[in-house]
Structure 1
Amino acid sequence: MAGKATVRVRRVYESPARGDGARVLVDRLWPRGLSKDKAHLDEWCKGVAPSTELRKWYGHDPELFEEFNRRYRAELQDSEHADALAHLRDLAKGGTLTLVTATRHPEISQAEVLAALLRS
């Protein structure tokens, strides 16, 4: 039986770490003030990001994280999101996967929700 995937969450503004593996941006919008060269990304997986409506409603308010988590997991079941999530699962099978996001608090972001799903 295969072990659980190694999935990390980091801010895109942090320098890459040696053990990051594949680095995938999971935000719908490109990070402000960051060039593609400085991002050190392997991919940009926009299709897995929360809808604009959900992102704006949430606004990274810690008090809304639990409800955001529930709503986002529901969104991940639609076809566009599900295909993108399946792609991330495939990447995680190939080795360490680091989900990167521009948010200041990655521990309450879509990247953390995705990481929890991919690790399970």
Structure 2
Amino acid sequence: MDIQIKRVYASAAPEDGIRILVDRLWPRGLTRQQLPHARWLKEIAPSPALRKWFGHDPANWIVFQQRYRQELATNPNVAILLDYARAGRLTLLYAARDPDCNHARVLQNYLLAQQ
């Protein structure tokens, strides 16, 4: 499977394949018209309680990953993303500023481990 992550504010590219926004909240400053070829699967994002607890604080990163993976284990939307990934390149779009400590990276690794 070919799964990449990309900030939603970066330009779309033909090699992105299927583009799916995986944030629970719509990204600030963007309209739906600015993401015409992206799908939005907000139900795959961390729960509101987990997202608020994490607060993008690197000190919470290790525990956040564990808790988010637990949520993903029971999330039926994982199967949808796996189907897309098996069909071709999948690009998970996220709005967080940190390219390393964000839920899209956890989701990417989780999906790749499901092969």
TM-score > 0.5, shorter chain as reference: yes
Give the percent of matched residue pairs that are identical in Structure 1 and Structure 2.
46
| Distance (Å, rounded) in 1 between the aligned partners of 2:44 and 2:89 | 18
Count how many residue pairs are aligned between Structure 1 and Structure 2: 113
Which stretch of the first structure deviates more once superposed, 26-35 or 40-49? Answer: 40-49
List alignment gaps of at least 5 residues for structure 2: none
With normalisation by structure 1, the TM-score equals 0.88
Pairing 1:89–2:82 present:
yes
Pairing 1:67–2:67 present:
no
SS of residue matched to 1:14: coil
How far is 1:106 from its partner?
Answer: 3.1
Could you list the structure 1 runs, at least 4 aligned residues long, displaced by more than 6 angstroms after superposition.
Answer: none
| Distance (Å, rounded) in 2 between the aligned partners of 1:96 and 1:30 | 23
List alignment gaps of at least 5 residues for structure 1: none
Amino acid across the alignment from 2:44: V
| Distance (Å, rounded) in 2 between the aligned partners of 1:43 and 1:68 | 25
Amino acid across the alignment from 1:113: V
| Distance (Å, rounded) in 1 between the aligned partners of 2:99 and 2:44 | 16
| Distance (Å, rounded) in 2 between the aligned partners of 1:27 and 1:106 | 14
| Distance (Å, rounded) in 2 between the aligned partners of 1:24 and 1:106 | 17
Match for residue 27 of structure 2? 31
Amino acid across the alignment from 1:32: R
Which stretch of the first structure deviates more once superposed, 38-47 or 106-115? Answer: 38-47
With normalisation by structure 2, the TM-score equals 0.92
Pairing 1:119–2:107 present:
no
| Distance (Å, rounded) in 2 between the aligned partners of 1:111 and 1:19 | 18
